[in-house]
Amino acid sequence: MPIERMWAGWRNAYVTDTARVMKAPEEHTLFEAILDSGIPDDETYIVSRGATCFTILNRYPYSSGHLLVLPQRGVADLDDLTADEFTELWATVNTAVRVIKAVYSPDGVNLGLNLGKGAGAGVPDHLHVHVLPRWLGDTNFTVAIAETKVLAEALDVTYERLCTAWPSPTED
């Protein structure tokens, strides 16, 4: 079966940004390089920054609103987190779920961690929690048969909606 292609020209910025970010030292993980790049948050899609963790949009989302919550420090396993990182990570996941529910009114929310390549981790050296809204029927023939996913919202719009709804540090 030939690979089907859908035009998504707005994703070109991802390739350009990634090339710019990846000029960082090799000892950095992809997410550390993004975090420390000096590129403005609205260009890297960093939604929130905490003392030890941050939240960023998934550049290749499964659905609109797909967030990643992760420690600032690149660690591969939950056992590698400090107590403060662990606490902040799960508090931020909780905030992310609340924000996604408020912004998107989904039928449900998926949370997931893929720890290691064998578990499907795309960035195995920096653990991250996927937080994404789900709707009844959001997996349909385009996904199951055509192996194509259609997103109803551009990343810039998603970013603005989530940032607007994200509580300030005093509201957490």
- Measure the CA–CA gap between 131 and 127, rounded to whole angstroms: 13
**Domain locations in the chain?**
9-165
Give residue 142's pLDDT: 44
Q: Which fold has domain 9-165?
A: HIT family, subunit A (3.30.428)
Q: Tens digits of per-residue pLDDT, 20-55?
A: 554 545 678 999 999 999 999 999 999 999 999 999
79-to-18, 82, 112, 127 alpha-carbon distances in Å:
29, 8, 16, 11
Sequence-distant (≥ 6) Cβ neighbours of residue 126 within 8 angstroms:
29, 30, 31, 32, 70, 71, 74, 75, 76
Q: Tens digits of per-residue pLDDT, 123-149?
A: 889 999 999 999 887 764 444 444 545
pLDDT over threshold 80, residue 4: no
For the full predicted model, state whether its pTM sits above 0.85: no
Give residue 111's pLDDT: 96
Q: Tens digits of per-residue pLDDT, 73-118?
A: 999 999 999 999 999 999 999 999 999 999 999 999 999 999 999 9
- Measure the CA–CA gap between 172 and 155, rounded to whole angstroms: 25
Any idea which residues carry the catalytic annotation? Answer: 128
Q: How do strand 46-49 and strand 67-71 relate by DSSP bridges? A: unpaired
pLDDT over threshold 60, residue 10: no
Q: Which amino acid is at 166?
A: W
